[in-house]
Chain A
Amino acid sequence: MKILVVEDDRDAAAYVQKALREEGHVVDQAFDGLDGYALAREGNYDVLIVDRMLPKLDGLSLVRSLREQEVQTPVLFLSALGQVDDRVKGLRAGGDDYLTKPYAFSELLARIEVLARRRSGGTSREETVYQVGDLELDRLSRRVTRAGQTLDLQPREFRLLEYMMRHAGQVVTRTMLLENVWDYHFDPQTNVIDVHVSRLRGKIDKGFDRPLLQTVRGAGYVIRDGAR
């Protein structure tokens, strides 16, 4: 994956670059808004990671200009401003996701992978049936079966599984689940999401020898068919 990091804090940028490279991505850097804008227009990136506060051209304006120029590369905003209206501003300017500093690298990684995949259409969102191993989810009839056996899921469990299966093979974090399944962006005091996931796991994996829903330590969850 080819990623552009537009961040004026060189230490932070170097850290992100190193970590992303270790994950096997190609990473370019820009240290101010204007350079970032030029690179983003020219280079064919899969994802842009843009800080809100940048010298010369701030992140919001940068993304707004890109969108005006029909550059549709997915953008993830990074910002120390994490209040509700800050995030909404970022999304309105044309950002696709918003992450508040300080953040966990695993969170950043999970989010940009989902963003990039959305763009390349890796998992077609329009498919009506998602399949992971012998687990099948039919979005039209809202039926979930494993090895031909129908599973009884609550509506919210269905949506949780649907989201995870749409991003099968990708790590999804707890906050991503809260945002996409419940449409809330706050961080709950208790590990509510974990309990939901473990309930879901009880329904889809219990009694089967190959667990599909796996916990990724320090990051989140992934649904995939056993070995990679």
Chain B
Amino acid sequence: MTALGKLVRTTAFRLTLAYALVFAIISAGVLGYVAWNGRRLVEQGMRETVDAEVNGLIDQFRAGGGAGGIRRLVASVEQRTRRPGSSLYLLTTFVGEALAGNVARLPTSVLTSAGENFDTPYERLDDPEGVTHHAYVRVILLPGGFRLVVGRDLAELNSLGQAVKRAFLLGLVILTVFGLVGGFFVARRVLARIDSMTESANAIMAGELATRLPLEGSNDELDRLAASLNAMLDRIGALLSGLKEVSDNIAHDLKTPLTRLRSGAEEALRSAKLPQDYRQALERTIEESDQLISVFNALLMIARAEGGRVVENMAQFDAAEIARSVVELYEPIADEAGVSLSVEAPGSLQAHGNRELAGQALANLVDNALKYARGGEKGQAESAAEVQVSARANGDGTTEVCVSDHGPGIPEADRERVLERFVRLEGSRTRPGFGLGLSLAHAVMRLHGGSLRLEDNHPGLRATLCFPPPLAGATT
């Protein structure tokens, strides 16, 4: 598309053009009305002047009476003819022979009929022959076949019309030129900004994801639009990088067990000799794939919880019972690991949610706590190996289930990060697990509209599941 074509296609240019057209039509109307009205007024004045002159001359005629009347009339006409001005006078006999006046020639058809005539061509005595003027004339028949013609030249009126016409044409030209030039500049300015926006958008699409639309700082509509689009791009960028990180992590973290699975099978193929060797290898393969399946299940569940899909089976459940039963479930494991696991969850604490998911979230926290209970950096004291689970209701209706240990804890800077999928801190990489436990607990709590809080337990970690109060009138 040519630059001009592009320009003509812009909204700004078309709007300017449309406005120019509308203005032209309106001013034409106004000017036309003024011209018409002016002409009418001038015509009326002309008629009145002619009337007065005619009356004056007829009075002279009457006052003279008979032949004396004609004489007086001739004298009066000649006197008036000498005055400067645009008035016309002519007095003729019944055969059309001029007796007095400044008119050299007048069409016979006008002269023979009495009455008003507009735009009559005539020639003046004081002009060279052949120069025609136009005039408004009145013809009066006098007794004895005499004819009196009084009129006004139309040059004055016509020049008014000319002036109006010139004004109109000039106005139109100025309007059109200014409209086009103005439209051109406005459109070019808008076009330049939009072009730069388009350019930025293309750059972003081409992969320069950090590019943003240019801002002028004028805070006009285009600037505000660009700012909104930039904010949108920032948001998309954040989501995208989050997504990318997650999928990178997933790919990376699933590769490890898959590699183990594959090399286990390969190793068996290469070196197994006895049927039981094969059997062992196959059993290991199944075990590893079971682990992978559970990782996938956890990922799916996190994705589902993060997607905000409401679990239909939200109901009242007893948070204290969950604390007790999960502790009871893990008690033998704690015992084997030499960690003392205690619970403080009296009576029943009603919370709203899904017992299954809440139980799983708590189980993950307890599982983690048991794994790290013994990892306290300083002293490695045996006495530090204890994990406490407690449940309590807060005054504001929320219910909290808290798991605290005296292990290494999580540095404050990392507390946000460990909630992400597959994030495992230094020093935990040697321990079993996939780094999904906390993410899952976090996702479950988000699904419940609650939160997972990680705090310092001086020393150690205190992880708290906080369930929101049951909704009033919530369906169970």
Q: Which residues of A contact B (CB under 8 A)?
A: 82-85, 88, 100, 102, 104, 156, 182-190, 192, 195-196, 199, 217-218
In the complex, how many angstroms separate the beta carbon of A114 from the nearest chain B beta carbon?
Answer: 21
A182, B329: Cβ atoms under 8 Å? yes
Known interface pairs A83-B301, A88-B312, A192-B332. Does A186 touch B283 (Cβ–Cβ under 8 Å)?
Answer: no
Known interface pairs A85-B312, A85-B313, A195-B333. Does A190 touch B356 (Cβ–Cβ under 8 Å)?
Answer: no
A199 to B333, CA, bound (A): 10
A189 to B300, CA, bound (A): 16
Count residues of chain B with CB under 8 A from any CB of chain A.
32
B286, A190: Cβ atoms under 8 Å? no
**Nearest CB to that of B304 among chain A residues?**
A83
Is there a chain A Cβ closer than 8 Å to B127's Cβ? no
Within 8 A of A (CB), among B321-370: 325, 328-330, 332-333, 336, 354, 356-357, 359-360, 363-364, 367, 370
Is there a chain A Cβ closer than 8 Å to B56's Cβ? no
Per-residue contact bits, chain B 428-468, to A (CB 8 Å; 1 contact, 0 not): 00001100010000000000000000000000000000000
Q: Which residues of A contact B364 (CB under 8 A)?
A: 189
Q: Which of B81-89, B91-99, B133-141, B289-297 faces chain A?
A: B289-297
Known interface pairs A85-B312, A188-B367. Does A195 touch B332 (Cβ–Cβ under 8 Å)?
Answer: yes
Is there a chain A Cβ closer than 8 Å to B311's Cβ? yes
A217 to B280, CA, bound (A): 11
Q: Which residues of B contact A83 (CB under 8 A)?
A: 300-301, 304, 311
* A186 touches which of B286, B289, B332, B359 (Cβ 8 Å): B359
List 9 tightest A-B contacts by C-beta distance, closest first. Answer: A195-B332, A186-B360, A85-B312, A189-B367, A84-B356, A88-B313, A184-B359, A195-B333, A85-B313
A84, B329: Cβ atoms under 8 Å? no
**Nearest CB to that of B433 among chain A residues?**
A189
B356, A186: Cβ atoms under 8 Å? yes
Q: Which residues of A contact B304 (CB under 8 A)?
A: 83
Q: Which residues of B contact A189 (CB under 8 A)?
A: 294, 363-364, 367, 432-433, 437
In the complex, how many angstroms separate the beta carbon of B146 from the nearest chain A beta carbon?
Answer: 120
B325, A182: Cβ atoms under 8 Å? yes
Per-residue contact bits, chain B 304-326, to A (CB 8 Å; 1 contact, 0 not): 10000001110000000000010
In the complex, how many angstroms separate the beta carbon of A107 from the nearest chain B beta carbon?
Answer: 10
A218, B333: Cβ atoms under 8 Å? no
**Nearest CB to that of B310 among chain A residues?**
A85
**Nearest CB to that of A89 among chain B residues?**
B312
**Nearest CB to that of B354 among chain A residues?**
A84
* B293 touches which of A102, A156, A184, A188 (Cβ 8 Å): A102
In the complex, how many angstroms separate the beta carbon of B384 from the nearest chain A beta carbon?
Answer: 21
**Nearest CB to that of B332 among chain A residues?**
A195
Q: Which residues of A contact B360 (CB under 8 A)?
A: 184, 186
* B333 touches which of A84, A183, A190 (Cβ 8 Å): A190
Q: Which residues of B contact A (CB under 8 A)?
A: 283, 286, 289-290, 293-294, 297, 300-301, 304, 311-313, 325, 328-330, 332-333, 336, 354, 356-357, 359-360, 363-364, 367, 370, 432-433, 437
Q: Do most interface residues of chain A lie in helix, strand or loop, or is the interface mixed?
A: loop
Q: Which residues of B contact A186 (CB under 8 A)?
A: 356, 359-360, 363
**Nearest CB to that of B314 among chain A residues?**
A85
Q: Which residues of B contact A217 (CB under 8 A)?
A: 283
A82 to B301, CA, bound (A): 9
A195 to B367, CA, bound (A): 14
Q: Which of A100, A189, A199 has the most CB of B within 10 A?
A: A189
Known interface pairs A185-B356, A189-B437. Does A82 touch B297 (Cβ–Cβ under 8 Å)?
Answer: yes
A218, B286: Cβ atoms under 8 Å? yes
B313, A199: Cβ atoms under 8 Å? no
Known interface pairs A104-B286, A186-B356. Does A196 touch B332 (Cβ–Cβ under 8 Å)?
Answer: yes
Q: Which residues of A contact B289 (CB under 8 A)?
A: 102
Q: Which residues of A contact B294 (CB under 8 A)?
A: 187, 189
Q: Which of A82, A156, A183, A184 has the most CB of B within 10 A?
A: A184
In the complex, how many angstroms separate the beta carbon of A81 from the nearest chain B beta carbon?
Answer: 10
A156 to B325, CA, bound (A): 10
**Nearest CB to that of A81 among chain B residues?**
B300
Q: Which of A88, A195, A217 has the most CB of B within 10 A?
A: A195
In the complex, how many angstroms separate the beta carbon of A152 from the nearest chain B beta carbon?
Answer: 16
5 sampled A-B residue pairs with Cβ under 8 A: A83-B311, A85-B312, A88-B313, A182-B329, A189-B294
A187, B356: Cβ atoms under 8 Å? no
Q: What would 4 more interface pairs be, CB under 8 Å, given A88-B312, A104-B290, A190-B370? A: A83-B304, A184-B363, A188-B363, A195-B332
**Nearest CB to that of B325 among chain A residues?**
A182
**Nearest CB to that of A83 among chain B residues?**
B304
A84, B357: Cβ atoms under 8 Å? yes
A218 to B363, CA, bound (A): 24
Q: Which residues of A contact B437 (CB under 8 A)?
A: 189
A217 to B284, CA, bound (A): 12
**Nearest CB to that of B330 among chain A residues?**
A192
A182 to B332, CA, bound (A): 14
Q: Which residues of B contact A183 (CB under 8 A)?
A: 325
A190, B367: Cβ atoms under 8 Å? yes
Q: Which residues of B contact A218 (CB under 8 A)?
A: 283, 286
Q: Which residues of A contact B333 (CB under 8 A)?
A: 190, 192, 195
A187 to B367, CA, bound (A): 12
Q: Which residues of B contact A84 (CB under 8 A)?
A: 311, 313, 354, 356-357
A186 to B437, CA, bound (A): 12
A195, B325: Cβ atoms under 8 Å? no
Known interface pairs A85-B312, A104-B290. Does A187 touch B332 (Cβ–Cβ under 8 Å)?
Answer: no
**Nearest CB to that of B436 among chain A residues?**
A189
A85, B311: Cβ atoms under 8 Å? yes
Q: Which residues of B contact A85 (CB under 8 A)?
A: 311-313
In the complex, how many angstroms separate the beta carbon of A92 from the nearest chain B beta carbon?
Answer: 10
**Nearest CB to that of B293 among chain A residues?**
A102
A182 to B329, CA, bound (A): 8
A104 to B290, CA, bound (A): 9
A183 to B329, CA, bound (A): 11
B329, A188: Cβ atoms under 8 Å? yes
A102 to B294, CA, bound (A): 10
A189 to B359, CA, bound (A): 13
